[in-house]
Structure 1
Amino acid sequence: MSDPYERSAEYLDIMIAEAWEPLAPALADVLGLVRAGAGAVVDLGAGSGRGVRVICRALPNAPVLAVEPSAAMRSVLLARVHEDTGLRERVTVLPGDCASTEWPDGVRAVVALNMIGHLPPGERRVLWSRAAAQLAPGGLLVFNVTPPFAPVRMERVRMAHVVIGEMEYEGWASARPTGADEITWRMDYSVLRRGRRLDGVSVEYRWWVAGEEVLASEVAAAGLALRRVGDPGLGLCVVERANEVPAPLG
Structure 2
Amino acid sequence: MTHGTDSSTIAKGSVDSYAQSAEFYEVMALPHWEPKRAVLVSALSDSGDITDPIVDIGSGTGLSTMAIADAVPGVSIHAVEPSPAMRAVLMSRILSRADVADRVTVYAETAEQFDLPDRIGAAVLFGVIGFLDPQARQCFWENLRPRLTPRAPVLVEVMALEQPMQVPELMIAQQRVGNRRNEILISGEAAGADAELWTMRYVVREDDAVVREFTSNYTWHTVGLTALANEAEAHDMTFEQVHPLIGVMRPR
* TM-score, normalization by structure 2: 0.90
> Taking every aligned residue pair, what percent have the same amino acid on both sides?
29
How big is the shift at 1:165?
1.1
How big is the shift at 1:103?
2.0
**Residue of structure 1 aligned with 2:170, choices 145, 157, 160:** 157
CA contact (8 A) 1:4 1:204 kept: no
Matched, 1:136 2:144: no
Separation in 1 of the partners of 2:149 and 2:49? 10
Match of 1:100 in 2: 113
Match of 1:246 in 2: none
CA contact (8 A) 1:35 1:139 kept: no
Separation in 2 of the partners of 1:41 and 1:208? 25
Deviations, residues 96-134 of structure 1 (Å, cap 9, x unaligned):
111211122221100001111111111111221122111
CA contact (8 A) 1:131 1:141 kept: no
Match of 2:5 in 1: none
What amino acid sits opposite 2:251 in the alignment?
R
Deviations, residues 166-204 of structure 1 (Å, cap 9, x unaligned):
111110011100100001110001111112111122100
Separation in 1 of the partners of 2:219 and 2:17? 9
Match of 2:6 in 1: none
Match of 2:66 in 1: 53
Separation in 1 of the partners of 2:168 and 2:154? 32
What amino acid sits opposite 1:134 in the alignment?
R
Stretch of structure 1 that moved more, 146-155 or 177-186? 146-155
CA contact (8 A) 2:225 2:247 kept: no
Q: Structure 2: state its 5+ residue gaps.
A: 1-11
Match of 1:239 in 2: 249
How big is the shift at 1:21?
2.1
Question: 1:62/1:130 Cα in 2 relative to 1: closer, same or farther (>3 Å)?
Answer: same
CA contact (8 A) 1:109 1:141 kept: yes
Q: Structure 1: state its 5+ residue gaps.
A: 243-250
CA contact (8 A) 2:119 2:147 kept: yes
Matched, 1:20 2:33: yes
Separation in 2 of the partners of 1:48 and 1:74? 6
Report 1 or 2 for greater relative contact order, CA contacts < 8 Å, sequence distance ≥ 6: 2
Separation in 2 of the partners of 1:67 and 1:141? 15
